[in-house]
Amino acid sequence: MRCGCVGGASGIGLETTRVLTMRGAHVIIAARNIKAANEAKQAILKNNENAKIDVLELDLSSLNSVNAFVHTFKALNLPLNILINNAGVMFCPYQLSQDGIEMHFATNYLGHFHLTNLLLDKMKETATTTGIEGRIVILSSLAHAYTYEQGIRFEKINDKDSYSKKAYGQSKLANILHANELTRRLKEEGVNITVNSVNPGFIMTDLMRHSFVLMSKFMHIYLEKKNINSILSKIECFS
């Protein structure tokens, strides 16, 4: 069983990689920080010397990097049963990607969208030859509900003046719509691949690095075990 975990070097992706390798999956960690990814690999191997993990470079915010990753991956001639689109940034200051796209949208949605499209043939081929159902898992978030009034602002993706933390919610909404539409198309085609978007819940990870306020609120949740909704309603970006 071959699995690709994007952003598998830390947080939820690292734990996902650890558990999948325990189940015998061969995991390719796709990461922009190769040093961190190799350290993650070593940490997993320390507790499970049979873990099968490889690291490949991928900067999801760059379409060229996605192209290069897929080229390298396909050259390995491995099957691909599971794709986990897990990488993400949250509440980063306004910036454009190399391709000139607002960074949340570029990283959380567009990079994963492009990657999935480029790997789809390989996944279909694997599902057919192995007879095992393929899986695409796209990490979304409760924050998909905290997007701009228009949902996805196609005409204003890069608008700096009205940019806000809702850019994260917008990208996460796009993740869900991607999963829904891909599910519909694959079903129509009769392809044996399931696509799911998932809200992983609230987990203290490096994702919070751009929001001291959010991080401290979450610390309260953990320390006081308060009701999550009452906490969220007090956080500016979620209210």
Backbone angles phi, psi at 134, to 5 degrees: -80, 155
- Per-residue contact string for residues 171-210; x = within reach of ligand NAP by CB under 6 A: ----------------------------xx-xx-xxx---
Q: How many residues does the chain have?
A: 239
The reply to whether 60 sits near ligand NAP by the rule CB under 6 A is yes
236 CB burial (10 A radius; 0-12, 13-18, 19+): exposed
Pick the catalytic residue from 94, 146, 148, 163: 163
The reply to whether 134 sits near ligand NAP by the rule CB under 6 A is no
Minimum distance of ligand NAP from residue 216's CB (angstroms): 14
Clarify whether 163 is annotated catalytic. yes
Q: Evaluate whether 69 touches 30 at the Cβ level (below 8 Å).
A: yes
Minimum distance of ligand NAP from residue 57's CB (angstroms): 9
Backbone angles phi, psi at 2, to 5 degrees: -110, 140
Minimum distance of ligand NAP from residue 202's CB (angstroms): 4
Minimum distance of ligand NAP from residue 231's CB (angstroms): 13
End-to-end CA distance of the chain: 42
Select from 2-10, 47-55, 75-83, 150-158 the region that touches ligand NAP (CB under 6 A): 2-10
User: In the structure encoding, which two tokens stand for residue 162, read together?
Assistant: 């009205």
- The CA distance from 46 to 153, in Å, is 46
Residue 178's CB is within 10 A of a number of other CB atoms, namely 21
By CB under 6 A, what part of segment 9-48 binds ligand NAP? 9-13, 31-33, 36
Q: 6: part of which helix (H) or strand (E)?
A: strand 2-6
Residue 93 is given by DSSP the state: P
Q: Evaluate whether 55 touches 4 at the Cβ level (below 8 Å).
A: no
The reply to whether 101 sits near ligand NAP by the rule CB under 6 A is no
By CB under 6 A, what part of segment 66-95 binds ligand NAP? 86-90
The reply to whether 4 sits near ligand NAP by the rule CB under 6 A is no
The reply to whether 159 sits near ligand NAP by the rule CB under 6 A is no
Active site residues per annotation: 163
Residues in contact with ligand NAP by CB under 6 A are: 7, 9-13, 31-33, 36, 58-61, 86-90, 107, 139, 141, 199-200, 202-203, 205-207
